[in-house]
Structure 1
Amino acid sequence: MADTGTGLVLGYDGVHPFSRVQLTGRASVQELLRTVLDPLEPFFSPLKARVRCPGATAVRFDQTASEVEGICRPLWGLACLLAGGGEYRGTQWWVDGIRAGTDPDSSEYWGYPRDNDQRMVEMCPLGYALAVAPVIWQSLSPSERVNVENWLGNSINEKKFAPPYISVAVCFMPNTNWLWFRVFANLGLKKNGGKFSQDRLDADIEHLNTFYRGGGWSNDGPEGIHQMDYYSSSFAIHFLQLLYAKLAGEDEPARAAEFKRRAQACALDLVHYYDKEGRSIPFGRSVGYRFAMVSFWGALAYAGVELPAPLTWGMVKGIVLRHFRWWQTQHDMWSPSGTLTVGYSYPNMYMAENYNSPGSPYWACLAFICLAVPETHPFWTSKEENHWDVIPKIKALEQPGHIMSNLGGHCMLLSSGQACSYPMKGTHSKYGSFAYSSAYAYSVPPGLFTLEQYALASQLGLSDDGGEYWKTRRLSESRLETAPDGSGPVLVSLWAPFPDVKIKTYLVPPTAAAPNWHLRVHHIAAGREVMTADGAFAISNQRAGDGRYLDLYDAAKAEGTRPKLIGNYDLSTPEAWATGAQGAFAVSKGAVGIRALERDLLAGGGGERTATLVNADPNSNLVESRTTIPTLQHTIRRGRAVWYVSAIYAKPSGDGVPRQSYLDGWDSPPAIPAWLADDMARTAPSKGGISSRL
């Protein structure tokens, strides 16, 4: 690592200053933020109104808006630092930038927002910064304040929001969490005595309340959309509700109390998304915002929420600091100049949304809301504690439609029914996968040809053209049920990858007796011949010693695959295949695997399933750039119906987990629950047909 005087340069084996900070308390987190902000210095425009982060990638909006993202999104961190009494040497850069960016006569004017304009999103951090960092407004002349009022307030308040599914061409403002951004544009002006619209602010909040579904959860959109990801909690809705409760609570105590009540209820669900290693479960879109996944927890402290039992402030502090520490181990997420990249653990355009510009990842700065929390708050004064021993090991979350598991060394959610309401790259991976793990992130397709490119981690794919193109679950009807024997929750979904191929899927969570296994059971009625591929989790395909691809499993090294991992496009080598009952596994950073339990229930469907390792195309997984996926394959003949019972194994590596123990549970898969075996027996294989009701 070298410092040229014009910015950070990371060379071979360079370690970002972010990873060198020893996180202990508030002052260390302040320093952590500074290591995020410092590398931006060389990329400010001459008048400081724009930041052009490295990376010349285009997005769905214009280049100026991309550079407005570059200056406004880091404001989340800077504003929280200043609100908590901290200091930053570059504060004046942002003051000057806001002055020039809102001046219509400036060469660096940000531009008046058009319909569906990204500029409206960036008004949110600016509005919050104005509300909590008086230095900004106080540094502006009367005419400059009018410029801010015109750009921040007048421009967005004239926009109407569109009903769902309306054509983008006539949409003025998305009917989603975006409405919160206008609330904060108005709130920032209101806090400084500027011109704002109370009517618009109130109307937006009342409409946003129609997104509330109960149990603390809000949907990211109106009725008819089922999308409850991190936007419902840390990225937008809960986070901004709590900030609003803090800033407007004295004037609106009833509204603030309701937002806090929702947060209390949701906290008991959201705590299941974070594991003992500091990782959160990647799920849904925009996970490239990285450590923003924990902003909800700092916002609880900021808003003065009383924690629901059994949570303590020591546990909340532990969630936040452990999360930061995990990200400190992800050295590849930085550009050579020290800025955040588009991606997750490494630069990755395959998983990016079409709105992810080079400045987009700085929404991660929401996580620094904890810096606005006074140093006397128990969030800072408490000793770090763990939460995983006091929360339920298995819990059904009604509103997002998840079953959460805190067994087997990782946090995992089983999911059915969610879907993004508009076209999105890899949407079937981000919402339609069966399982999502804090230890084994989801994979997205880097191409659309053969299994290697589809990277079907935790998905069932079906092909009717001999294996070139594959379809997976995207839209489904789903319901949470209690198993008939009362043993626990079960997720059931109905879906149809082709009009004449109907599938009913049961997802059964781990048990205390088999903590590293979950069951995925499919009843498939095929109106056409289809090949199937049922994938386990993706795991690192690298040997520990030299980084080369995994060999056949070596028990002495506790590393490798079984059967043998063969290179792409080689589908006929006998050593690469095993029976479905034998299954396939891979061992590197822990172990993952899959095996078939259906025994003779495939009669007439085309023979027994087989097991193999799919050498997924590089950069398909969010965390590991080279992965393999244990997979069961089969062909169902036209007009036939089959039952698949897939047992999926996962035992992550971690502190205190010996390598030799990674496969300890592999030879003891769970039995098919009796209630499910009875259901399977009632629906004979090969007769076709599937119930259309849940």
Structure 2
Amino acid sequence: MEPKTGLVLGYNGVHPFSKVKITDRGSVQELLRTLLDPLEPFFSPLKSRVKCPGATAVRFDQSASEVEGICRPLWGLACLLAGNGEYHGTKWWVQGLKAGTDPESPEYWGYPRDNDQRMVEMCPLGFALAVAPVFWQNLNEKERGNVEAWLGNSVNEKNMPNTNWLWFRVFANLGLKKNGGKFSQGRLDSDIKHLDTFYRGDGWSNDGPEGIHQMDYYSSSFAIHFLQLLYAKLAGDEEPERAKEFKKRAQMAALDLVHYYDNEGRSIPFGRSVGYRFAMVSFWGALAYAGVELPAPLTWGMVKGIVLRHLRWWQTQPDIWSPSGTLTIGYSYPNMYMAENYNSPGSPYWACLAFICLAVPPEHHFWTSEEELPGDSIPKVKALKHPGHIMSYLGDHCMLLSSGQACSYPMKGTHAKYGAFAYSSAYGYSVPPGLFTLEQYALASQLGLSDDGGEFWKTRRKSEYARLETRDDKPVLVSIWKPFPDVTVKTILVPPEESTPNWHLRIHKIEAGREVMTADGSFAICNERAVDGRYLDPYDADKGEGTYPKIIGNYDLNTPEGWATGKQGAFAVSKGAVGIKALEDSGNEGERNAMLVNADPNSNLVESRTVIPTLQHTVKAGGVAWYVSAIYAKPSGKGIARGSYLDGWEKVPEVPWWAREEKGAQI
């Protein structure tokens, strides 16, 4: 099918999404329509599939990829319709449902097999059936039987991954149940009972059974908490105690999750599937939809502000669109290096979860309240036991320190998505676009070790030990990990203090059974001059931009002016400033040196060209090294003058007294 002529973004094109002035419920409805409109040319003739631009393959079949394309936008459309909104293209999805579930149709979706991607797309379809009568009401008896067979009978007898996926089958059954269709109450009950075994306490659920430690946006906005709240709303009359429990969990989690969103509207990218973009805030709209009473000190003005500021921030990211106006695979720009093997061209439309707020009636406090900032209402530093995070609201961004999480299966860049030391709302994490030298490994907020002279690098992926502990009555994160069988690293992460809000500390003790090079990286920052986009020059105080020392390229690594002592440190200034200094006393065999790693392009989620201030050293075989790395970060933002980016650079935090005791302790 040849796409119809529609939106085409050229050199000066601005997506309609970025033109909407977000102020109220009506403007958010219009924002959603700007997402749905560009899909029209990519519907199949019978409307059962959407083939979004992009020919990239995924681990499942092409038909399932195109089923994603039609079902994922349903999250937004169903919420719009549930809130009495209108969309002129609703008929496309009604027609697509009929053709896709009809075994006699040339565009039949196909029955799912065990662990089939089609099971995921049953979730938005089940939700749409539950909240938007237009779908079921437009089906005749035979068509309803087709939907029952595809959405219920087929999936209830199949194996599913032991993860958040089980919620998708719950909603497939729930959608049929709400319309009087054939469903399995037994399967629905058994799935929810099993999903309860993922609960770990204090509001947090894990994305999997005991032995897996993976608590990311799937635990809150992408699946588990989000779907618990939708279930509480839709099934609460029949199961009031379960609904009460799900709401209670959400109240507890909200007091933790508020720390993941900064005043600029940015969320902290952490973990997998962050290509779902603004779905990161769907939890907050779901609180309102489910009728949750907010726990103090949170207010509906704060919740509304988190959601609307976040949507406005994405309006400032013009590179998230294809030339045809559809969402791309990536984060702030198209990026396959950070993509999971299940990210098809239609996959990013899971972002439509964010529009659950449109199902919230206009008289709800979510819509009638004035937007607020969390401000001084929440702790500036907070330890979160279950995800193994220490959150910081200091230094003009939200930041988390992390230890202990790891994906349970092979995933591209898993060490960067879960194993890095720090994640920031202002400076996204970096993934390796290749596996040769530091430039390709792009070790932002990671300690890398190499036993071959710097060609291949190992970082923290899994920890043998990872716990929240206290030092001097303050929270720290302690982990022990082995990049090589005979090399042991103990890392202690220390959050910022109010006196030095732009610094956090990493204390490493390395016992090396073989000789290893080490590279400790700060955050990655944009490597572009403001005036013309060329790479940064050496730092110029008058321009408030540049690096110290000089950036050295991949081919002149031994250039003397590209190195400084670890005590002097290295920094880069462009969109704010980041840097790193060595604070340890002498005692290691040789001092650490500071330099700038010119990371390979497209390694970072937020900026396509980045540089990473880094400390390097070599530990001899049989040696022990003790590092205290101070990492600086002061982002750009409203009211932050360019000339102030390095204001805190010379005022480093003191090395804690207890750290010297750690130096001599056994790992």
Which interval holds the TM-score relative to the shorter structure? over 0.9
**Residue in 2 aligned with 1:662?**
645
Aligned residue number for residue 306 of structure 1: 293
Q: Is the 8 A contact 1:478 1:491 kept in 2?
A: no
25-34 or 5-14: bigger deviation: 5-14
Read off the aligned partner of 2:369 and give its amino acid letter: S
Cα deviations across residues 64-105 of structure 1 (Å, max 9, x unaligned)? 000000000000000000000000000000000000000000
Match of 1:460, as an amino acid? L
Q: CA deviation at 1:516?
A: 0.2
Q: For 1:156 and 1:5, how far apart are their aligned partners in 2?
A: 35
The C-alpha deviation readout for 1:50-70, integer Å capped at 9, x for no partner, is: 000000000000000000000
1:56-71 correspondence runs (5 A): 56-71=55-70
For 2:7, the equivalent position in structure 1 comes to 8
- Code of the aligned partner of 2:439: E
Q: Which residue of 1 aligns with 2:22?
A: 23
Q: Does 1:43 align with 2:42?
A: yes
| CA-CA distance at 1:600 after TM superposition | 1.0
Q: Which residue of 1 is the match for residue 455 of structure 2?
A: 468
How far, CA to CA, are the matches of 2:377 and 2:551 in structure 1?
A: 40
Q: Give me the whole-angstrom Cα distance separating, in 1, the residues matched to 2:293 and 2:67.
A: 36
Question: Matches of 1:23 and 1:457 in 2, distance apart?
Answer: 34
Partner of 2:498: 512
C-alpha contact (below 8 Å) 1:483/1:675 kept by paired residues: no
CA contact (8 A) 1:288 1:342 kept: yes
Are 1:489 and 2:475 counterparts?
Answer: yes
> 1:592 Cα shift?
0.1
Please give the alpha-carbon distance, in whole angstroms, between the structure 2 residues aligned to 1:648 and 1:241: 38
Letter in 1 for 2:108: Y
Alignment of 1:447-462 (within 5 A): 447-462=434-449
For residues 569 and 388 of structure 2, what CA distance do their matches in structure 1 show? 29
Q: What secondary structure is seen at the aligned counterpart in 1 of 2:376?
A: coil
Deviation at 1:679, TM superposition (A): 2.5
Question: Cα offset for 1:601?
Answer: 3.0
> How do 1:471-550 residues align onto structure 2 when only pairs under 5 Å count?
471-486=458-473, 488-550=474-536
Q: Matches of residues 90-101 of structure 1 in structure 2 within 5 Å? A: 90-101=89-100
For residues 120 and 320 of structure 1, what CA distance do their matches in structure 2 show?
A: 28
Superposition deviation, residue 193 in structure 1: 0.2
Residues 628-681 of structure 1, C-alpha deviations (whole Å, 9 max, x = no match): 00000001000000101100000000011011110011011101111112322x
Cα contact 2:524–2:604 (8 A) shared by 1: yes
Say whether 1:676 aligns with 2:659: yes
**Counterpart-to-counterpart distance in 2, 1:578 and 1:483:** 34
Query: How much does 1:482 deviate?
Result: 4.4
- In the alignment, what sits opposite 1:571? 557
CA drift of 1:106 comes to 0.1
- Partner-residue secondary structure (3-state), 1:497: strand
The AA in structure 2 aligned to 1:81 is: L
Corresponding letter in the other structure for 2:180: G
Structure 1 residue 626, shift from structure 2 partner: 0.1
User: 1:461 is paired with a residue of what secondary structure?
Assistant: strand
Amino acid at match of 1:106: S
Counterparts of 2:336 and 2:345 in 1: how far apart (Å)?
11
Tell me whether 1:346 sits opposite 2:333 in the alignment: yes
Matched, 1:617 2:603: no
**Secondary structure at the counterpart of residue 389 of structure 1:** helix
Q: Residue 471 of structure 2: SS of its match in structure 1?
A: coil
CA distance in 1, matches of 2:465, 2:82: 44
Q: C-alpha distance in 1, partners of 2:518/2:372?
A: 45
**3-state SS of the aligned residue for 1:291?**
helix
1:252 aligns with 2:251: no
The residue type equivalent to 1:150 in the other structure is: A
Is 1:32 aligned to 2:31, yes or no? yes
Gaps of 5+ in 1: 160-171, 684-689
Of residues 586, 604, 613, the one that matches 1:630 is 613
Cα displacement (A) at 1:5: 6.8
Q: CA deviation at 1:479?
A: 4.0
Aligned partners of 2:466 and 2:480 also within 8 Å: no
Which residue number in structure 2 is paired with residue 164 of structure 1?
none
2:317 paired residue among 326, 330, 339: 330
1:444-465 Cα deviation digits (max 9, x unpaired):
0000000000000000000000
Once the two structures are TM-superposed, the CA of residue 469 in structure 1 deviates from its matched residue by 0.4
Q: Could you say which residue in structure 1 is the equivalent of 2:351?
A: 364
Instruction: Report if the CA contact (8 A) 1:217-1:266 is conserved.
Output: yes
Question: Are the equivalent residues in 2 in contact too, given 1:83–1:372 (CA < 8 A)?
Answer: yes
Amino acid at match of 1:579: T
Amino acid aligned to 2:591: E
Q: Establish whether residue 317 from structure 1 lines up as the match of residue 307 from structure 2.
A: no
Q: Supply the distance in 2 between the matched residues of 1:493 and 1:59 (Cα, whole angstroms).
A: 34
Matches within 5 A, 1:120-199: 120-159=119-158, 172-199=159-186
| Partner of residue 643 from structure 1, selected from 626, 629, 641 | 626
Equivalent runs, 1:170-319 vs 2, <5 Å: 172-319=159-306
Corresponding residue pairs, total = 665
Equivalent position to 1:600, from 586, 590, 603: 586
* Paired residue secondary structure (1:66): helix
The 8 Å contact of residues 404 and 467 in structure 2, kept in 1 or not, is answered as no
Length-normalised TM-score, structure 2: 0.99
Q: Give the corresponding residue for 1:115.
A: 114
CA distance in 1, matches of 2:58, 2:493: 37
How far did 1:577 drift? 0.1
- SS of the residue corresponding to residue 626 of structure 2 reads strand
Q: Name the TM-score, length of structure 1 as normaliser.
A: 0.95
Between the aligned residues of both structures, percent identity stands at: 80
Amino acid of the structure 2 residue aligned with 1:112: Y
Among 552, 574, 580, the residue aligned to 1:588: 574
Q: CA deviation at 1:296?
A: 0.0
Whole-Å separation in 2 of the counterparts to 1:672 and 1:601: 15
Write the distance in 2 (CA, Å) between the matches of 1:14 and 1:515: 39
Which consecutive residues of structure 2, in runs of 5 or more, have no partner in the other structure? none
Once the 2 structures are TM-superposed, how far is the Cα of residue 477 of structure 1 from its aligned partner? Answer: 3.4
Q: Please show how residues 392-431 of structure 1 align to structure 2 within 5 Å.
A: 392-431=379-418
Q: CA deviation at 1:115?
A: 1.2
Q: Residue 358 of structure 2 aligns to a residue in which SS?
A: helix
Aligned mates of 1:360, 1:444 — CA distance in 2? 20
Question: Counterpart amino acid of 1:589?
Answer: K
In 2, the alpha carbon distance for the partners of 1:315 and 1:343 equals 28
Instruction: Tell me if the contact between 2:127 and 2:175 (Cα under 8 Å) persists in the aligned partners.
Output: yes
SS at match of 2:401: strand
* AA of the residue aligned to 2:336: M
- SS of equivalent to 1:561: strand
**CA distance in structure 1 between the partners assigned to 2:12 and 2:513 by the alignment:** 55
- Residues 4, 41 of structure 2: 8 Å contact kept: no
Q: CA deviation at 1:483?
A: 3.2
Distance 2:198 2:499 in 1: 39
Match of 1:9, SS? Answer: coil
Offset of residue 478 of structure 1: 4.0
Distance 1:221 1:526 in 2: 34
Match for 2:422 among 435, 438, 442?
A: 435
